[in-house]
Amino acid sequence: MEEKPQRPGPKRSLSATRIVDAAMELFDGESPSIRGVAAHLGVRPNTLYTYLPDRAALERALVDRLLAEADPDLLLGRKGWRKRVEDYACALRGVLLGRRGAAALLHTAPMDGPTAALVGERLLAIFVAAGLAPDDAARATYVVIVHVLGSATLTAADLNGRGEEAVVAERMAIQMDAQYFPLTAATWPVVARWNTEDQFRWSLQVLLVGCAGSA
């Protein structure tokens, strides 16, 4: 587990990048703690303050890593524009659900990193190419971002580390009172699947159609 140090130097050679690397492996439901990351690196907690001003800085770096890991290049290429948005959105959803606590992190701090800017610009370009006026493209971009992050966070809270089908099964077992909640009871097979990937894709289609209709 220990890398061979490249140069003799001090015991370990730390850096902000290596700290964020370590933190990326420590999602377990909470976002990685300063003390947890330090322990993982075999170092005292306060050591990290040589490289990071505070915990918020660590979290902002993690947000950017997560956005990048979903591969913003999926927004490029010559597939249809809806398909490209859907591909990146699903990839990001996958990344956020794959690391417990990651989704909540995206809602914690403003996304002002370089990858966020890149993703925003590419979504804008897609909507402009699709025929939206630039200002409407900007608004549409926000709608997509909100939906992806919002649904990923709700879904992550619901999954809580379990598999999608386990959660659906659990929800299907719930009996809604058909007297007080007739429609909820009647549509329960759909409601029980709210936090699934097919609902996610359905929502995205609706969003994109709605946005395109504003052209």
Partner DNA sequence: ACCTGAACACCGTTCAAGT
Contact set with a second copy (CB under 8 A):
104, 107-110, 117-118, 120-121, 124-125, 128, 134-135, 137-140, 142-143, 145-147, 149-151, 153-154, 157-158, 176, 180-184, 186-187, 189-191, 194, 199, 202-203, 206-211, 213-214
Q: Is 130 in the site for DNA (CB under 7 A)?
A: no
Indicate which of a second copy, DNA, none lies near residue 46 (CB less than 5 to 8 Å, by partner kind). DNA
Per partner kind, with CB cut-offs from 5 to 8 A, the member of DNA, a second copy, none near residue 146 is: a second copy
Give the CA distances from residue 214 to residues 98, 133, 145, in Å, rounded to whole numbers and listed in that order.
34, 9, 17
Sign of CA dihedral 156, 159, 164, 168: negative
Q: Residue 111: which residues within 8 A CB-CB, separation 6 or more? A: 63, 67
Decide: is 47 part of the binding site for DNA (CB under 7 A).
yes
- Distance in Å, CB of 9 to DNA, minimum: 9
Half-sphere exposure of 191 (CA within 13 A, CB side): 14
Of the candidate spans 27-35, 90-98, 143-151, 174-182, the one that interacts with DNA by CB under 7 A turns out to be: 27-35
Instruction: Tell me 72's DSSP state.
Output: G
Written as six digits, the tokens of 102 are 């990651």
10 binds, among DNA, a second copy, none (CB under 5 to 8 A by kind): DNA
The entry of DNA, a second copy, none near residue 101 (CB within 5 to 8 angstroms by kind) is none
- CB 132 → a second copy: shortest distance, Å? 11
DSSP of 135-186 = HHHHHHHHHHHHHHHHHHHHHHHHHTTS-HHHHHHHHHT----TTT-HHHHH
Interface contacts to DNA, rule CB under 7 A: 10-14, 33-36, 43-47, 49-50, 54-56
